């Protein structure tokens, strides 16, 4: 009888984490989750997945590595997230990312198992003109040292550390994932995520607040498409390990203004769309995200990944999630 494989998912009750639990359960993995529930998408008390997993409600570093045995894969998702969510960790983001990653690397070495590190598309930084970003493109640091830079550079340093450790330790296998603008069911507005915020504002009849002029472009990718891409890297053949992968749907490029108008239309809301300076709400540490459009040809060609939902379908899923459950009333 074939042994059931075990995956450890850090940040498993976060937005991508919940969908990852569903994906790995569907493929008959035994799942252990570490999550301190500081920014979870679903409360463990209400989580329909809780009965099917082993759960450690704690910070990563408070766990003893020796307690985790026979792990076959580590999916490292835990991280400060969101343009607003990262602000409260200013000055600590880099150390948080590296400390947690090094714990995971040590665990991977102990169990002789691979690690998937979820990085960010924000490591590409700022471009003067529209660019379809490839994995080997230069990383451009903005001239202002913002908290957003601290987050993106922390993730980039994590990539460098993981890559270099694997060059020394030839037994360490890894995958690095750079997701682009993920959204879908379970995403919360609290971290500053734009589509959940628009949906909640529209459903409550509040002004839909668009930052700056709304001309900023995003290529939002359905969260389940992102997770499918992550899973494909976990079962890749040996020639496709120790790689960096963009995962994003360049076909879904839309302006923020378009998304606000679409949310208003789908909710049949009387809300007004207004344009504001986000620093007036979130303070001077807030920085708007750079425009970044993915080139995901590598994962499409090598691992046969293909996104399935277009932009309007993704927007509709976010709206439906809040509308169907009356969840918007909690915000």
Residue whose pair of structure tokens reads 């208003």 in the numeric block: 264
List, in sequence order, the alpha helices (H) in the chain: 15-26, 93-111, 147-168, 194-203, 223-234, 256-267, 279-282, 297-303, 311-325
Cα(252)–Cα(262) distance, integer angstroms: 14
With a cut of 60, say whether residue 44 has pLDDT above it: no
Instruction: Supply 267's token pair.
Output: 């909710």
Across 120-124, 126-130, 229-233, 291-295, least confident range: 126-130
pLDDT, residue 148, reads 76
pLDDT tens for 70-92 read 999 999 999 987 666 676 777 88
With a cut of 80, say whether residue 50 has pLDDT above it: no
In the three-class reduction of DSSP (H, G, I as helix; E, B as strand; rest coil), residue 144 is classed as coil
Q: How many CB atoms lie within 10 A of CB 137?
A: 15
pTM listed for this prediction:
0.94
Give the angle 122-299-230 at the CA atoms, nearest 5°. Answer: 70
Instruction: Give, in order, the Cα–Cα distances in Å from 273 to each of 91, 94, 258, 311, 319.
Output: 34, 36, 11, 20, 16
pLDDT, residue 140, reads 72
Q: What is the mean pLDDT of the chain?
A: 90
Cα(220)–Cα(139) distance, integer angstroms: 21
Cα(190)–Cα(31) distance, integer angstroms: 27
pLDDT, residue 126, reads 81
Instruction: Supply 252's token pair.
Output: 């879904």
Cα(121)–Cα(124) distance, integer angstroms: 6
Pick from 253, 252, 251, 232: nearest CA to 243: 232
Cα(331)–Cα(326) distance, integer angstroms: 10
Instruction: Supply 288's token pair.
Output: 């708007």
pLDDT, residue 241, reads 98
Residue whose pair of structure tokens reads 């009333």 in the numeric block: 329
Instruction: Give, in order, the Cα–Cα distances in Å from 50 to each of 21, 72, 188, 200.
Output: 10, 20, 19, 27
- Mind listing the domains of the chain with CATH numbers? 6-182+221-251+293-308 (3.40.50.720)
Instruction: Supply 77's token pair.
Output: 């998702």
Give rounded-to-5 percent helix, strand, coil for the chain.
40, 15, 40
| DSSP, res 330 | G
| DSSP, res 169 | S
Instruction: Supply 128's token pair.
Output: 């003067």
With a cut of 80, say whether residue 205 has pLDDT above it: yes
For residues 175-201, give the mean pLDDT: 91
Pick from 153, 216, 182: nearest CA to 77: 182
Strands (E), 1-127: 6-10, 30-34, 54-56, 73-76, 115-118
With a cut of 90, say whether residue 189 has pLDDT above it: no
């Amino acid at each position: 009888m074939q042994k059931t494989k075990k995956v450890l998912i850090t940040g498993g009750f976060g937005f991508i984490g919940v969908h990852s639990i569903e994906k790995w359960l569907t493929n008959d993995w035994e799942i252990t989750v570490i999550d301190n529930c500081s920014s979870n998408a679903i409360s463990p008390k209400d989580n329909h997945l809780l009965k099917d997993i082993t759960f450690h409600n704690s910070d990563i570093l408070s766990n003893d590595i020796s307690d985790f045995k026979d792990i076959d894969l580590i999916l490292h998702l835990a991280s400060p997230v969101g343009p607003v969510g990262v602000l409260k960790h200013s000055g600590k983001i880099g150390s948080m990312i590296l400390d947690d990653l090094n714990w995971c690397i040590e665990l991977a070495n102990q169990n002789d198992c691979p690690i998937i590190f979820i990085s960010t598309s924000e490591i590409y930084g700022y471009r003067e003109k529209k660019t379809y970003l490839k994995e080997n493109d230069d990383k451009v640091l903005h001239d202002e040292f913002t908290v957003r830079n601290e987050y993106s550079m922390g993730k980039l340093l994590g990539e460098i550390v993981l890559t270099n450790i694997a060059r020394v330790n030839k037994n360490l296998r890894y995958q690095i994932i750079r997701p682009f603008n993920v959204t879908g069911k379970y995403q919360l507005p609290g971290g500053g995520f734009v589509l959940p915020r628009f949906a909640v504002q529209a459903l409550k009849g509040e002004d839909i607040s668009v930052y700056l002029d709304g001309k900023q472009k995003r290529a939002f990718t359905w969260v389940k498409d992102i997770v499918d891409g992550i899973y494909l890297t976990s079962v890749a053949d040996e020639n496709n390990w120790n790689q960096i992968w963009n995962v994003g749907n360049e076909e879904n490029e839309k302006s923020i203004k378009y998304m606000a108008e679409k949310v208003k239309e789908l909710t049949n809301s009387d809300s007004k769309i207004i344009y504001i300076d986000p620093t007036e709400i979130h303070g001077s540490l807030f920085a708007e995200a750079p425009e970044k459009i993915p080139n995901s040809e590598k994962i499409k060609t090598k691992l046969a990944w293909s996104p399935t939902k277009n932009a309007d379908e993704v927007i509709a899923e976010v709206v439906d999630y809040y509308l169907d459950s009356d969840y918007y009333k909690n915000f």
